[in-house]
Amino acid sequence: MPDRTCPGAAGAAPAILALLLISALAILPVTAATQYRGTGPVFIATVSGTNEFVAGQDTTIHIIVRNVGLNDLKQVGMGTIDPEDPQNTAKAVTIGLNSSGDDIQVRTDPQMVGDIQGGNSVSVDFRAKISSNATVGEYQLPLTLTYRYPKVMVQEQADIFEFQYLDGQDTLPVTVRIKPEVKVDVISAVPEQVTAGSEGFLNLTIKNTGAEDGTMAAVRLVRNGASPIIPATSSVFIGDFPSGSTITCRYKISVSKDASDQTYPVDIAVSYTNREGDVVTSDAATVGIPVNAKPSFTIVSAVPEIPRGSGRIIDVRYRNDGATTVYAAQARIVEHSPITVTDDTSYLGDIAPGATATARFAVSADDTADPAAYSLDSTVRFRDASDTSLESDTIQLPLKVVAGASGIPGGLLTIAGCIVVLLILGGAFFLYRQKNKSR
């Protein structure tokens, strides 16, 4: 049978299939894109942690800002690509906290925090100074946010989006509270002749200038850093300490021996129970306490001369160069070769500032001592106004060893003198015997 197939039909079949496949793809819908429509970003701000502060405090306010803006419409099938930014996204956000008059001064500049998408939050910190004159109460600090957001998104073609960004600004209230507290104001701080290296007393008068009525209160005296004033009595219980009231306390203190004649700080704070039943401590108040340097002494008498090989009683006059009276003072010297001290301690008594007292010592020089200038170590031990026993720094006592008459050692002069005396006595006795025989 003859073949009825048209010539070339076998070669056209693949081309027909390809055309059919292209036609089928052309009538399929495009891939759907998801878009959201909304009113834009919406913010709320809250203080993280405590929002209660006290007058005079330096603090940091921790704030959390959340974008709660929602997309109220979801559209599917608008195009072939998703939009870059949902309409509730805030772009390039800057957050600043403003001061509230003179009571609360914000010291941190506005901060850039980047983008905040809907449902997300950021945390920002602002340093602030609460004025010491700030009144108790609630304050609203304005928190300002500036940003940009997508307002209109139009897709006229499947592969083209048009974005329109608008500027936005919101101001949110941030609530902080100034709470009452006991505030210490030192009316007077009077020491009782406080001297370096000694103990004494400090009389304090303080006033509660805060708005809180403290109960079960105790006034604490605290050492300030490395101050040489060290409280021996650290706390005095005073009970109730109402706002505006004044109390007086007395403390025993000690002063390190290296303190000089100047004023040194101490801190005063009050621990109390507040109106909420919590035990708290007030901010410390610092006050200066004048301290007298440890009394010093100067020898103002002439340099005593000691003949070589002999001894003598010397008078040494001491002057009190300190600012306070010393009591029951006694001077002491320490011998060293070639000087010998027979009586090394002498009582001086009470010496007022600028006054002098004389000590007497028995001193001798060895036969081998060279005629020259020497010095002995001398100290003065005394009691201060608090009856604390103290000792002065070492005072140099100058001495001068001199040769005996005609350069003969003093010991030989003494022996020669004794011989002369014996000869005179012997001659007198001989004359006395001769006179008796002649009778």
Tens digits of pLDDT across the chain (439 residues): 444 444 444 555 555 554 444 444 444 444 444 455 556 789 999 999 888 888 888 899 999 999 998 765 555 554 554 556 777 889 999 999 998 788 899 999 999 999 998 889 999 999 999 888 888 889 999 999 999 988 765 556 555 666 678 899 999 999 999 989 999 999 999 998 788 888 889 999 999 998 899 999 999 999 999 999 999 988 999 999 999 999 999 999 999 988 988 999 999 999 999 988 999 999 899 999 999 888 899 999 999 999 998 889 999 999 999 888 999 999 999 988 899 998 899 999 999 999 999 999 999 999 888 999 999 999 999 998 888 888 999 999 999 999 864 444 445 545 555 576 677 766 666 666 666 665 5
For 98, residues 6+ apart whose C-beta sits below 8 A from its C-beta are 106, 141, 142, 143, 144
Spatial separation of the C-alpha atoms in residues 353 and 394, rounded to whole Å:
19
Tokens of 44: 């709320």
> Does the N-terminal peptide bond of residue 173 adopt cis geometry, omega within 30 degrees of 0?
no
> Can you name the residues that pair with 286 across neighbouring β-strands?
267
User: Residues, the chain, total?
Assistant: 439
Query: Kind and range of the H or E element at 401?
Result: strand 395-402
Q: β-strands 305-307, 395-402: how paired?
A: parallel
Same fold, 34-178 and 297-403: yes
What is the rounded end-to-end Cα distance, in angstroms, of the chain? 217
In 256-325, at which residue ranges do the beta strands (DSSP E only) sit? 262-273, 279-281, 285-291, 297-299, 305-307, 311-320
By the 8 A CB rule, do 404 and 308 touch? yes
pLDDT of residue 205: 96
The reply to whether CATH 2.60.40.10 applies to domain 34-178 is yes
Class of 297-403 per CATH? mainly beta
Q: How far is C-alpha 216 from the chain's CA centre?
A: 28
Cβ density class 400-422: b for 16+ within 10 Å, e for less: ebebbeeeebbbebeeeeeeeee
- Residue 367: name the closest of 430, 421, 304, 413 by CA: 413
Q: What is the pTM of this model?
A: 0.60
By the 8 A CB rule, do 307 and 219 touch? no
Rounded to 5°, the CA angle 111-115-116 comes to 100
Rounded to 5°, the CA angle 87-91-92 comes to 170
Parse the chain into domains and list their residue ranges: 34-178, 184-291, 297-403
Indicate the CATH number for domain 184-291: 2.60.40.10
Q: β-strands 199-208, 121-130: how paired?
A: unpaired
By the 8 A CB rule, do 45 and 65 touch? yes
Spatial separation of the C-alpha atoms in residues 394 and 397, rounded to whole Å:
9
Spatial separation of the C-alpha atoms in residues 174 and 125, rounded to whole Å:
13
Q: β-strands 90-97, 137-157: how paired?
A: antiparallel
Helices and strands in the chain: count of H runs, count of E runs: 2, 30
pLDDT of residue 388: 85
